Amino acid sequence: MGLTIAQKIIKSHLLEGRMIPGQEIGIRIDQTLTQDSTGTMVYLQFEAMGIERVKTRLSVAYVDHNMLQEGFENADDHRYIRTVAHKYGIYFSRPGNGICHQVHLENFGVPGETIIGSDSHTPTAGGIGMLAIGAGGLDVAVAMSGGAYYFTMPEIINIKLSGRLKPYVSAKDVILEVLRRLTVKGGIGKIIEYTGEGVKSLSVPERATITNMGAELGATTSIFPGDEVTRSFLIARKREEVWVEIYPDDDALYNKTLEIDLGEIQPLAAMPHSPDNVKPVTEIGEIKIDQVAIGSCTNSSYQDLMKAAKILKGKTVHKEVSLVISPGSRQVLTMLASNGALADLLAAGARILESGCGPCIGMGQAPATNAVSLRTFNRNFKGRCGTVSAKVYLVSPETAAVSAIAGELTDPRSCRENIKVEIPETFPVNDNMIIPPSNTPGKVEVIRGPNIKPFPLNIPLPRKIEGEILIKVGDNITTDQIMPSNAKILPYRSNIPYLASYCLVPCDKDFPERARKSGGGFIVGGENYGQGSSREHAALVPLYLGIKGILAKSFSRIHKANLINSGILPLRFINPDDYDNIREFDSILIDDAVEQIMKGNTITVKNTTQNTMYELKVEVSSRELEMLIAGGKINLIKREKVGKQ
């Protein structure tokens, strides 16, 4: 039996386990990336391991999230990351150099290699043929120390593309169509692999748009072949030497195949407040808009912004619309400035932002009250933009640009401009904003500002666990709801005690105070609890507040791993009625906890308020079981170190 692309890469990097879906495997990691929103915690954890130098082939620290510097906090974090990178063998991409995923694609992506990153959109690199996985910060720190990355071997879903995209239809519409069909839960426990003749018509940046939003499917990752298109991309960036041809075998066996004719796709939009709430632009209708934002790691490539510039050239943004554009990298911005496209955008009334994540994470450009914002981003969760009452629609750059002129959501096929973009044969390469690590690490001082606080550690799993149900929430609760991320809170991502006051506030403003007064307890959630970002803060902050376990119908992959890393029990309801019957403030008791989870993956929980019993699943590997008993991954690492001495 032949192998798929993903299976080939996994096989060549396999350290532990067998490639059987549902079984845990451990793979060798070639590259890691972090960004500043999650990076500070990653490097604090890495330092705690006592490793003198990173052991990956390449590790890169990016600054692209916390760019607003209203106080010292963000600048202090940037300085800490820069000095720790310099000391421990990590490349450092300076503020303003661009969004991690765009810059990594341009400078470091290698077909056939593995990368994990402390950002859920790390699968963007799948567009260049990498096995690229978003992970919690602690998993990234362990990989940098030379440890394996463990995850459950996924099923492989083949999305077979045929045909070509029609004018004004883009790669963004392709992934929105996939989301429409599969939903935000459709990729859980799966790798999405793109094949077929239609793949040849998509450039690497277009492929990266599609793999980027595989994160919104809940997929472990998404991947395209390493083919001649990939090779041309690398030649243009003077990196042809890293090219590796990688295709699926002719007799590769997939768990499922979904066929999509690119020629049949039309302009689409994800309506509020979920990336899978997708309808054709023509069906949604000409709704009035207030803001348009073009950029993010999904759609900020040279190709994307050139199309927008061609549409906007000689036009003026509607008088009631604010248009903001954030180029994905300094390279993209430089090219737009050199060929005159930047002047066209400015003349049309666009506001040019720094090359960074910006509005996508609520870092500035929050819409007005009750505003409608069209964004070329990847998430439109309620309140993520910084304004709870705003309605965010996810669209392509073409739809965004045409609509910015019209002042209402508009089908881009109404435009008559020629927006075909010729990809340059060579791109200007200037990496002077990427600082290599020091050759004399012993002389480097790591500088920590006063806002950088120690990360919380759990205690070993006690025999008896008890506490109240502090909150009960519904399906698809996001990490943005568990641990909000906006311009006011982001500067404190290295200060867990401060962040604790915002935990689950979008669901219940009284939750933090209730958790403090109760000394901790339990959270009850519905399906897909913890979807969204890879931020481990969504586990570390509940840990700080004394949360002992989460009882949910199901968990997102990364958040579940982060809970286990923190020593918080992820408990899945076996009987859906138990979720319906359990109430906030019920008292919960787990007796003989260690003995129960060591016997098997089912645990009995008593509701002492209602005098009822629940059976819940603890679906963990033997390795994860050790972590839970030890009180988290760091505790287990420390225990193993002592055992080796």
405 with 477, same domain: the answer is: no
The whole-angstrom separation of Cα 490 and Cα 67 is 10
Of 389, 398, 337, whose CA–CA distance to 167 is shortest? Answer: 398
Q: Is residue 188 packed enough to be buried (19+ CB in 10 Å), middle (13-18) or exposed (0-12)?
A: buried
The whole-angstrom separation of Cα 148 and Cα 516 is 36
Give me the torsion for CA of 219, 221, 227, 232, rounded to 10°.
110
Question: What pLDDT sits at residue 643?
Answer: 62
Rounded to 5 degrees, what angle do the CA atoms 610, 616, 621 make?
155
Task: Kindly state the DSSP code that residue 487 receives in the 8-state scheme.
Answer: T
CB 503 within 8 A of CB 511: yes
Question: What pLDDT sits at residue 644?
Answer: 61
Q: Which two tokens stand for residue 442?
A: 């012993």
242 with 302, same domain: the answer is: no
Of 107, 117, 364, whose CA–CA distance to 236 is shortest? Answer: 107
Positive/negative CA dihedral, 500, 504, 510, 516: negative
Q: Which two tokens stand for residue 63?
A: 């600054």
Q: What percent of the chain has pLDDT over 90?
A: 89
177 with 135, same domain: the answer is: yes
Where residue 623 sits, what CATH number does that domain have?
A: 3.20.19.10
- Extended strands (E) in 498-592: 521-525, 547-552, 569-573, 587-590
From 213, 247, 264, give the residue that closes a domain: 264
Is the pLDDT at 395 greater than 70? The verdict is yes
Residue 338 CA: distances (Å) to CA of 214, 299, 308, 341, 344: 33, 20, 16, 8, 12
209 with 72, same domain: the answer is: yes
Mean pLDDT of 59-76: 91
Is the pLDDT at 640 greater than 80? The verdict is no
359 with 241, same domain: the answer is: no
Question: What pLDDT sits at residue 407?
Answer: 97
Question: pLDDT class for 623, splitting at 50, 70, 90?
Answer: very high
Question: Taking all residues of the chain, what is their mean pLDDT, rounded to a whole number?
Answer: 95
Question: What pLDDT sits at residue 391?
Answer: 97
The whole-angstrom separation of Cα 433 and Cα 518 is 48
From 393, 409, 425, give the residue that closes a domain: 409
Q: Which two tokens stand for residue 585?
A: 């403030």
Q: Per the domain annotation, does 423 fall within a domain?
A: no
Contact residues for 291 (Cβ-Cβ < 8 A; gap 6+): 321, 322, 323, 324, 365, 367, 368, 371, 372, 373, 374
Residue 344 sits in which domain range? 268-409
The whole-angstrom separation of Cα 482 and Cα 504 is 4
- Extended strands (E) in 219-271: 221-223, 256-261, 268-270
Residue 424 CA: distances (Å) to CA of 43, 106, 237, 308, 533: 38, 14, 10, 17, 34
Question: What pLDDT sits at residue 416?
Answer: 86
Q: Per the domain annotation, does 459 fall within a domain?
A: no
132 with 155, same domain: the answer is: yes
Q: Per the domain annotation, does 417 fall within a domain?
A: no
Q: Per the domain annotation, does 450 fall within a domain?
A: no
DSSP state string for 140-175: HHHHHTTPPEEEEPPEEEEEEEES-PPTT--HHHHH
Strand-strand pairing, 587-590 and 602-607: antiparallel
Return the SS3 of 91: strand
Residue 471 CA: distances (Å) to CA of 269, 442, 489, 505: 33, 48, 22, 11
Whole-structure pTM over 0.85, yes or no?
yes
From 370, 388, 409, give the residue that closes a domain: 409
Is the pLDDT at 42 greater than 70? The verdict is yes
Give the number of C-alpha atoms closer than 13 A to the C-alpha of residue 390, restricted to the C-beta side.
Answer: 25
246 with 289, same domain: the answer is: no
Is the pLDDT at 135 greater than 60? The verdict is yes
163 with 297, same domain: the answer is: no
pLDDT digits (tens, 9 = 90+) for 342-371: 999 999 999 999 999 988 888 889 999 999
Q: Per the domain annotation, does 403 fall within a domain?
A: yes
Is the pLDDT at 600 greater than 90? The verdict is no
Number of domains in the chain: 3
Task: Give the chain's radius of gyration (CA, Å).
Answer: 24
Q: Per the domain annotation, does 431 fall within a domain?
A: no
The whole-angstrom separation of Cα 174 and Cα 499 is 37
Backbone angles phi, psi at 209, to 5 degrees: -60, -40
The verdict on whether omega for the bond into residue 559 sits within 30 degrees of 0, i.e. cis, is no
520 with 611, same domain: the answer is: yes
Mean pLDDT of 146-156: 96
Return the SS3 of 377: coil
134 with 275, same domain: the answer is: no
The whole-angstrom separation of Cα 59 and Cα 92 is 9
Question: pLDDT class for 117, splitting at 50, 70, 90?
Answer: very high
Where residue 272 sits, what CATH number does that domain have?
A: 3.30.499.10
Mean pLDDT of 456-475: 95
Q: Per the domain annotation, does 426 fall within a domain?
A: no
243 with 276, same domain: the answer is: no
Q: Per the domain annotation, does 445 fall within a domain?
A: no
Mean pLDDT of 458-476: 96
89 with 174, same domain: the answer is: yes
